[in-house]
Structure 1
Amino acid sequence: MATDRYGHDLYNGTAEAAAHLDRAVEHLLFFRPEVTEAVDDLLRAAPAAPVAHAFAAYLGVLGTEPTAAAAARKRFDAFAAGFDTSKCSARERLHTAAAASLLAGDLRRGSALLEELTTACPRDALALFVGHQLDFLTGDAPRLRDRIGGALSAWEDDDPHRGPLLGMYAFGLEESGHYTHARETGSAAVERNRHDVWAIHAIAHTYEMQGRFADGTAFLDARAADWSGGNFLTVHNWWHYALYALEAGRPDTALGVYDTTLHHGGSRGVAMELLDAAAMLWRFHLAGSDQTGRWEALADAWSARADPPFYAFNDVHAVMSYVGAGRVAEARRLIDGRRNWLAEPGAHMVTNHAMTADVGLPVCEALVAYAGGDHDTVMDLLWPLRRRLHEFGGSHAQRDALQQTLVEAALRSGRHDLARVLISERTALRPDSPYNRLSAARLAGSPGE
């Protein structure tokens, strides 16, 4: 029986198939688009290998693209219908069960199965990577950190793939608030491989969370050739660059990045990139900056997708775009459609049900209320959720657009006691943030303060 580079069996596979699997994992760990071709090669070389089909299923889900997920589910179901899992190893059975759970929409069960797998097989890089991404998509910061931390001791220091594991661990550390440790760990990963874009991304987050925008810009500038093209994180890391510029008081630079990278005529229109564009423009919207033309183009891109219920985090950013473009009726249609879906039998079986019901829809309603100047309603909807927003995924940096919406609503509704609490919380964490200082100044100049 063939084995992969880690010594794991590849059931129904050949040496050629194992080589394709190793190549696919290598591309996956470094976010290279070539992973898709490598998995196709793997499937052709080992059409009856369960890990090959699980790998393809993972790719279909992790991009949060409903069309890709539907195609992956069709292919996986055709394979699983004729496959007897009792013949393969426990590890491969867990991969198969995890893939099936993800394709059925149960991200948390898929995550738990992969954690069970890596407890027994901590050197399964595919399972670690996919589990880590699921922890990100579900906003589970402790598991984002500890899933990788729990496996690191099984990886020798000279293993070529220990580096990407350190990059993952760095992001988990950052999302858990361990910024110095995260930056040191991410730097160790980048020293091993300067093209480790996930590690670069983790370090960028640490600078963002500490309000060190000049340091973050300098860090990305110094490594621009390593992260700024040819990988799945290119647009997202440019988003971080634009966010630094905006927060440092250079809106023209941020818009320049937006127009050349975040969203333009040649953009792919994938959800992960569209939500970055929306999150950037929404910050301009909160500042009262008119970006009508950009909003219109972005709203058109979301509208063209016509996504079914799949991932509430994406829905919120679609509603941002509709609201920003003044197309409130479209935002309402999306919200009504999701409410109707929540009432359907069986909808509660998928992870996105709770994400949508508990967080996604209230946030969407708050965005519509904000557009209508109903800041009291924004407060009523977002204040109870301010410590629960992680439950529908994303990072602290991404979700900060919503936290800023809450600050703006508190200031504009005259609820100065709540505004003081919010601004004090933010300033204690990032005392040098221009946004926090300006918000504090606005509060100080408010009547009654």
Structure 2
Amino acid sequence: MWGQEYRTASGGCAAALDEHYAHTMSFGRGRGHAVLRGAATEYERAVFRALSALIGEERDEQVAIERHFELLKEFPRDLMSLKRAQLICFYMGRPDTSLKFVEQVLPENQDQNYIYGMLAFPLLELGRMDDAEKAARKGLAINKNDCWSQHNLCHVFQQECHFKEATEFMKSCSPSWAACSSFMLTHNWWHVAVCYLEGEFPTSKVLEIYDHNFMTELEKSDCEAAEVYLNALGLLLRLHIRGQVDLAKDRLAALLDALTNEKIWHVEWLLDLLVLWALSSMGEITRADNLLESLRSRVSSMDTKKQQVMQKAIQLAEAVYEYGKGEHKKVFDILGPDFDALSCKMIGASDEQVDVFNEVWYTVLINTGESSRAIEVLEKQIRKREGAPFLWRLLEKAYSLHGRAADASVASEKANALQAAYSR
């Protein structure tokens, strides 16, 4: 009708469209009446109001947050809007606000599927691991196949250096991931691979996940490739930092054509940073320059307030670009002695995802002779995660560089003991 097919199964909707079009084409008096037959409900108006703050030149994430609080106050069982609100918070690096959202609606959703996974994530991002574990387990008691609750329980295991428990748990859950998006499928496997790396399991286990879970996903007709690259590059950077440079570059070479395709740029800030490292480390300097300049241009077009927030993202982008080229002194000059990747969460990354940039920084401190500062930050980090062998190995290098041979020996023994314990 009217030159186009209707894409609706509703007879009432089709009739209203017919009436509206007929009055419009004939300059009739019933145009408004036809439209108002389907007037928006209070809920629809509230959702539209919340979404409108995320669209166009007047886009304002803070306004969107405020409107989502209003929406969820009136419609607390709208878990789709809760999920959207939490995503806004994630890309603003605000787990505290994300937690407030879910706490606001929790009393009306005590028995609901998915709610406890949504509770667990901001809790773990705020360092409340015991509470996060309880929430994740409660979510799994309602639905053992809730991949977000599975993911968040793995986060807890990983942060507490229970690497063997994490890998065994996630592998037992993996049959339930078949229907997951490209991101969630490969991200859950990414966690398994990172736990293998952190526990210093054989590198073959890490590569098996990369080759058989990441690369096979790219072969699927409904794959969202950028979502796979995000997890793949995050894993390869960790391999590279741990001295597995050839293994990382072999796999980067297979991705290079895709990474130079500008269609995947600016999908995610985190992906852009990882692509920037990949391009510069593989000698694609012109492409890397183009991506870096494009990121700067994006930020310069933002309003003043957003530009100030995103300056740290640009600083980190410049640093990973130089790190890929092997210019460690320039990385140190850019990041300075007080860098903490957790201050860069506006790039849209969890603590675990962004931590790789701290690993870059630790390595840079050692390679630029900043042994005193390296010792200081590594000892502080080890107090939080004493069970991470890689941190002890970095500390061993820093001690050796600083002339503290006895302390270096102790750190080496600690790393070896942890690695042996995890491999049993």
Q: Please say if 1:242 is aligned against 2:193.
A: yes
Write the deviation string for residues 206-236 of structure 1: whole angstroms up to 9, x where unpaired. Answer: 1111121111012112323223x21121111
Q: What does the per-residue CA deviation read over 1:323-355, in whole Å, with 9 as the maximum and x for residues that have no partner?
A: 3323222111101122234344xx32896x556
| 1:143-178 C-alpha deviation (Å, 9 max, x unpaired) | 222211221011243xxxx23101110111111111
Larger radius of gyration, structure 1 or 2?
2
Residue type of the alignment partner of 2:397: R
State the TM-score, normalizing by the size of structure 2: 0.79
Pair 116,252 (structure 1): closer, same or farther in 2 beyond 3 Å:
same
> Using the alignment, how far apart are the partners of 2:159 and 2:389 within structure 1?
13
Taking a change above 3 Å as real, the CA distance of residues 246 and 165 of structure 1, as seen in their structure-2 partners, is same
1:429 aligned onto 2:384: yes
In structure 2, the gaps of 5 or more residues are: 1-6, 14-33, 405-424
Amino acid at match of 2:108: A
Match of 1:252 in 2: 204
- Structure 1 position 95 matched with structure 2 position 47: yes
Aligned partner of 1:148 in structure 2 is: 102
Q: Hey, what does 2:326 align to over in structure 1?
A: 373
* Residues 1:418 and 1:360: Cα distance change in structure 2 (over 3 Å): same
Residue in 1 that maps onto 2:113: 163
Matching of residues 326-405 of structure 1 within 5 Å: 326-344=283-301, 347-348=302-303, 357-383=310-336, 384-386=338-340, 387-405=342-360
Report the CA distance shift for 1:294/1:83 in structure 2 as closer, same or farther (over 3 A). farther
Q: What is the CA-CA distance between 1:192 and the residue it aligns to?
A: 1.0
8 Å CA contact 2:226, 2:267 repeated in 1: no
Matched, 1:178 2:128: yes
Q: Distance in 1 between matches of 2:361 and 2:212?
A: 30
C-alpha RMSD over aligned residues: 2.7
Determine the structure 2 residue equivalent to 1:277.
232
SS of residue matched to 2:326: coil
TM-score (norm 1): 0.75
Please say if residues 282 and 324 of structure 1, whose CA atoms lie closer than 8 Å, have aligned partners that are also in contact: no
Q: Offset at 1:423?
A: 0.6
2:86 corresponds in structure 1 to: 132
Does 1:205 find its partner at 2:162? no
TM alignment of 1:78-117, pairs within 5 A = 88-104=40-56, 106-117=60-71
SS of 1:138's equivalent in the other structure is coil
CA deviation profile, 1:262-312 (whole Å, cap 9, x unmatched): 235516353332111111000111122112221122232222243464542
- Structure 1 distance, partners of 2:98, 2:12, is 32
User: Identity of paired residues, percent?
Assistant: 22
- Is the aligned partner of 1:196 residue 2:196? no
Unaligned runs of 5+ residues in structure 1 are: 1-42, 50-81
1:108 Cα deviation after fit:
4.1
Q: Is the alpha carbon distance of 1:298 and 1:350 closer, same or farther for their aligned partners in structure 2, counting shifts above 3 Å?
A: farther
* 2:72 alignment partner in structure 1: 118
> What corresponds to 1:319 in structure 2?
276
- Aligned partners of 1:163 and 1:188 also within 8 Å: no
For 1:182 and 1:202, the matched residues in 2 are separated by 8
Q: Which is worse superposed, 186-195 or 264-273?
A: 264-273
Structure 1 residues 216 and 98 mapped into 2: Cα distance closer, same or farther (>3 Å)?
same
Question: C-alpha offsets along residues 46-105 of structure 1, whole Å, 9 cap, x if unaligned?
Answer: 7999xxxxxxxxxxxxxxxxxxxxxxxxxxxxxxxx989x95344322311332333436
Confirm or deny: 8 A CA contact 1:298 1:321 kept in the other structure. Answer: no
Q: Distance in 2 between matches of 1:379 and 1:343?
A: 24
Match of 2:419 in 1: none
Is residue 91–residue 346 contact of structure 2 (8 Å, CA) maintained in 1? no
Alpha-carbon separation, structure 1, partners of 2:114 and 2:326: 46
Residue 8 of structure 2 is matched in structure 1 by: 44
Query: What secondary structure is seen at the aligned counterpart in 2 of 1:230?
Result: coil
Q: 1:328 to 1:153 in 2, by over 3 A?
A: same
Q: Is the 1:98–1:110 contact (alpha carbons within 8 Å) kept by the matching residues of 2?
A: yes
Counterpart check, 1:303 vs 2:260: yes
What's the counterpart of residue 179 of structure 2? Answer: 230
Over 3 Å counting, the alpha-carbon distance change for 1:133 and 1:341 in structure 2 is closer
* AA in 2 matched with 1:246: L
Supply the distance in 2 between the matched residues of 1:283 and 1:191 (Cα, whole angstroms): 33
